[in-house]
Amino acid sequence: MDLRRYTPSPRAVDWGLFVAVTALLATGVATMFTGTPDTAWVIDLHAIAGVVLVCLLPVKLWRVRHRVTPDRMTAPRALSLLLALDATAALVTGVWWIFGGTLDLGPWGLFHLHVGLGLLVPPLLLWHLRYRFHSPATATRHGRRDAIRYAGLVTTGAIVWRLQRPLNDALATAGADRRYTGSREEGTGDGNRFPVTSWVADDPDPVDASEWRLGLTGRVDNRKSFTLADIPTDAAEDAILDCTSGWYSGHEWQGVAVGDLLDAAVVDEGAAWVQFRSVTGYRWSLPVDEARSAILATHVDGERLSHGHGFPLRLVAPGRRGFQWVKWVEEVRVTDRRELGEWVAIFVSGL
Ligand SMILES: Nc1nc2c(c(=O)[nH]1)N[C@H]1C(S)=C(S)[C@@H](COP(=O)(O)O)O[C@H]1N2
Ligand SMILES: [Mo]
């Protein structure tokens, strides 16, 4: 079999690599926000683009193999080599994750490594293109043939991705129980015994319940302040906490419906967002209608929340990814506009 019959022309391979990396970056970042099954296609696209990259990368490396020898090494070529290694490592860690791999890197694991290596590819690629960019003028010469070959490649990607699930099941790998988000199950239904995940420096001292108050502030008629004993715990909901670092955990959360709090405070006409603020400065907003159906939880599977999981109060936002489930909440603030600073706060709070 002559593989060249199936490979796009050299210029089209270069463009294909560029498009695949762009698609992988966009879908990779977007997976951080997929929390409901209707967004599962984002992960599908990420995987299909990954398979396309697996097919194209060897073609490219084979073509340039004579250039990258030690005696002909230049700075731009060293950079190209670094790019090739990083892209390969990102692909390997991604596939390894899918088939149940684990890696202990202290506070981090295999999934973090995959994300880190993946995020490094686009800047390296842009830098590489500064040296090696060619005009796409000649790309049209084989346009039709290349288009057919790319259609074939994307179809191959979709089929390979479709087959990994039965293969994982047949091999009974640890990758078999992945949720559509890619996360693996940990500690479901077992109270506080699931992973504690906090961002960078968000590591407060345990909250003193006798001093702690929950404030209801912003665009409301009656500002309120609750002690822990004041907070009703008559709302309960089963919901999955799905962290973007690769694990999920399903629990029955118990606490107060945010809608009940908002009704007690009477929300102003025109208020659109509800922001949940942690004692650490970590904060996140939900649209007011969605916030109404969220819970501020005091208990998980009948146990009082532990400090690590956000005692005395944490947000439970079904369908949202874990980083939006603010822990150690001390303020619920109703606003007209979403505060852009919260995007920064989730990375730097506690520093
Ligand atoms: N205040 C605060 N809330 C936070 C975080 C944090 O670092 N600080 N981490 C978030 C992330 S990334 C996740 S996945 C969940 C994890 O909750 P857990 O530690 O109870 O498992 O909490 C979220 N809420
Ligand atoms: Mo997370």
| Residue 139: pLDDT over 60 | no
In 3D space, the residue among 307, 320, 319, 312 whose CA is nearest the CA of residue 346 turns out to be 320
Instruction: Characterize 153-170 residue by residue with b for buried, 16 or more Cβ atoms within 10 angstroms of its Cβ, and e for exposed.
Output: bbebbbebbeebeeebee
* Ligand 1 atom with minimal separation from the 242 CA: 14
Ligand 1 close to Cβ of residue 278 (< 6 A): yes
Q: Do 181 and 242 meet the contact criterion of CB atoms below 8 Å apart?
A: yes
| Paired tokens of 108 | 């981090």
**Interval 270-305: pLDDT, tens:** 999 999 999 999 999 999 999 999 999 999 999 999
* Ligand 1 atom with minimal separation from the 243 CA: 14
Atom 12 of ligand 1, residue of closest alpha carbon: 323
Residues with CB under 5 A from ligand 2 (ion): 197, 243-244, 322-323
Q: How far apart are CA 90 and CA 101, in angstroms?
A: 14
**Interval 116-132: pLDDT, tens:** 999 999 999 999 998 77
Ligand 1 close to Cβ of residue 219 (< 6 A): no
Q: Which of 188, 200, 243, 300 to mutate to test the pocket of ligand 1 (most atoms within 8 A of CB)?
A: 243
| Residue 254: pLDDT over 80 | yes
| Residue 35: pLDDT over 70 | yes
Q: How far apart are CA 293 and CA 233, in angstroms?
A: 15
Confidence of residue 258 (pLDDT cuts 50, 70, 90): very high
Strand-pair category, 283-287 with 273-278: antiparallel
Atom 6 of ligand 1, residue of closest alpha carbon: 198
Query: What is the residue whose two structure tokens read 């146990």?
Result: 303
Ligand 1 close to Cβ of residue 328 (< 6 A): yes
In the chain, what are the domains?
3-182 (1.20.950), 185-348 (3.90.420.10)
Q: How far apart are CA 315 and CA 300, in angstroms?
A: 12
| Residue 1: pLDDT over 70 | no
Atom 7 of ligand 1, residue of closest alpha carbon: 198
Percentage, residues of the chain above pLDDT 90: 83
Relative to the alpha carbon of 111, which ligand is closest? 2
Give one DSSP letter per residue of 122-177, joined into a string: HHHHHHHHHHH---GGGGGGGHHHHHHHHHHHHHHHHHHHHHHHHHHHHHT-TTTT
Whole-prediction pTM: 0.92
Atom 11 of ligand 1, residue of closest alpha carbon: 323
**Interval 163-217: pLDDT, tens:** 999 999 999 998 988 999 999 999 999 999 999 998 768 889 999 999 999 999 9
Give one DSSP letter per residue of 40-105, joined into a string: THHHHHHHHHHHHHHHHHHHHHHHTTTT--GGG--HHHHHHHHHHHHHHHHHHHHHHHHTT---EE
